[in-house]
């Protein structure tokens, strides 16, 4: 079956250099073993033009605007039920309502955490995640502390991701880490993804949709190349049409965050 290669050889070599550097910085002697997919001469991830599931099953149907009212959340849930989307994504104050409204369906409830800036302490993020899980959330989308990453405070980033990852994993739920790639250099995207793999997260995610930009092909290719089979990639921010959605899915993205899911899937 024909496949599309994500990341060329120079990119894979750069990633391995960063893996070895972070292995030393973080005293994680087994880290390199998680990246054996980068050693392959034909590192491939996605079949051209093929998706494993119907388009709607990749959708995180999203309402995160601060002006959202009850009517907006009701509409979100009804659309998700009608379209059979994978999940709705909301703020914590709407989680319990969405769980009730979506009871008896296969639509999951995802909730953002420390959104949109990710500047809380690791302990605060963990406690917020535990509160969100107690409301019934199935998935948590937490924002990475970008400042720690830009300071090259790798132990700090590892703690930032690792503490909440441990709590979410213990509850048997899914954690997505939002990198806010529009604020990062390619190397910072690489480093963030390596640390997320080390912490065992379920997804790395491009964007909040509330910063200077959203998902880009360049960022998604880097993310897919780094994580390989270790975790999944969610593209979000500025995705409003079927063509863009399909382009990301063909690359190997497994979740799309958008408020335009109905338009995309019709």
pLDDT, tens digit (0-9, with 9 covering 90-100), for 155-172: 999 999 999 999 999 999
pLDDT, tens digit (0-9, with 9 covering 90-100), for 122-142: 999 999 999 999 999 999 999
pLDDT at 3: 38
CA-angle at 166, arms to 161 and 157, nearest 5°: 15
pLDDT grade, residue 26 (50/70/90)?
very high
CA-angle at 221, arms to 219 and 223, nearest 5°: 70
pLDDT at 42: 57
In this predicted structure, the answer to whether residue 46 has a pLDDT above a threshold of 90 is: no
In this predicted structure, the answer to whether residue 43 has a pLDDT above a threshold of 70 is: no
The domain 51-265 having CATH identifier 2.30.30.280: the answer here is: no
In this prediction, residues 144-148 reach a mean pLDDT of 99
pLDDT at 39: 85
In this predicted structure, the answer to whether residue 4 has a pLDDT above a threshold of 50 is: no
pLDDT, tens digit (0-9, with 9 covering 90-100), for 50-91: 678 999 999 999 999 999 999 999 999 999 999 999 999 999
Strands 139-143 and 108-113: parallel
Could you count the other beta carbons within 10 Å of the beta carbon of residue 86? 23
Judging by beta carbons within 10 Å of its beta carbon (0-12, 13-18, 19+), is residue 156 exposed, middle or buried? middle
In this prediction, residues 168-180 reach a mean pLDDT of 99
pLDDT at 153: 99
Give the residue numbers annotated as catalytic, written as ranges: 141, 205, 234
Evaluated on CA atoms 120, 124, 126, 131, the torsion sign reads negative
For 27-96, give the secondary structure using H, E and C: CCCCHHHHHHHHHCCCCEEEECCCCCCCHHHHEEEECCCCCCCHHHHHHHHHHHHHHCCCEEEECHHHHH
Q: What is the percentage of the chain residues whose pLDDT exceeds 90?
A: 91
Task: Provide the whole-model pTM.
Answer: 0.95
Which neighbouring-strand residues pair with 176? 141, 203
pLDDT at 2: 35
């Amino acid at each position: 079956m024909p496949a599309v290669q994500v990341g060329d050889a120079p990119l894979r070599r750069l990633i391995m250099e960063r893996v070895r550097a972070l292995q030393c910085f973080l005293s994680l002697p087994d880290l390199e073993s998680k990246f054996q997919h980068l050693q392959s001469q034909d590192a491939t991830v996605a079949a051209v033009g093929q998706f494993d599931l119907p388009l709607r099953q990749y959708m995180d149907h999203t309402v995160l605007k601060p002006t959202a009212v009850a009517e907006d959340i009701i509409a979100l849930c009804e659309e998700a039920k009608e379209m059979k989307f994978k999940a709705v994504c909301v703020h914590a104050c709407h989680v319990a309502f969405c769980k009730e409204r979506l009871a008896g369906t296969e639509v999951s409830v995802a909730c953002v955490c420390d959104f949109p800036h990710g500047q809380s302490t690791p302990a605060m993020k963990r406690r917020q995640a535990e509160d969100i899980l107690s409301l019934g959330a199935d998935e948590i989308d937490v924002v990475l502390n970008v400042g720690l990453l830009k300071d090259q405070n790798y132990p700090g980033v590892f703690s930032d991701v690792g503490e909440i990852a441990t709590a979410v994993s213990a509850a048997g739920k899914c954690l997505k880490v939002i990198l806010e790639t529009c604020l990062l250099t390619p190397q910072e995207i690489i480093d963030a993804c390596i640390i997320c793999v080390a912490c065992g997260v379920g997804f790395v995610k491009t964007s909040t949709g509330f910063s200077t930009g959203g998902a880009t092909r360049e960022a998604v290719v880097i993310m897919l190349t780094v994580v390989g089979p270790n975790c999944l990639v969610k593209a979000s921010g500025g995705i409003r049409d079927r063509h863009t959605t399909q382009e990301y899915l063909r690359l190997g993205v497994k979740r799309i965050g958008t408020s335009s899911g109905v338009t995309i899937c019709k």
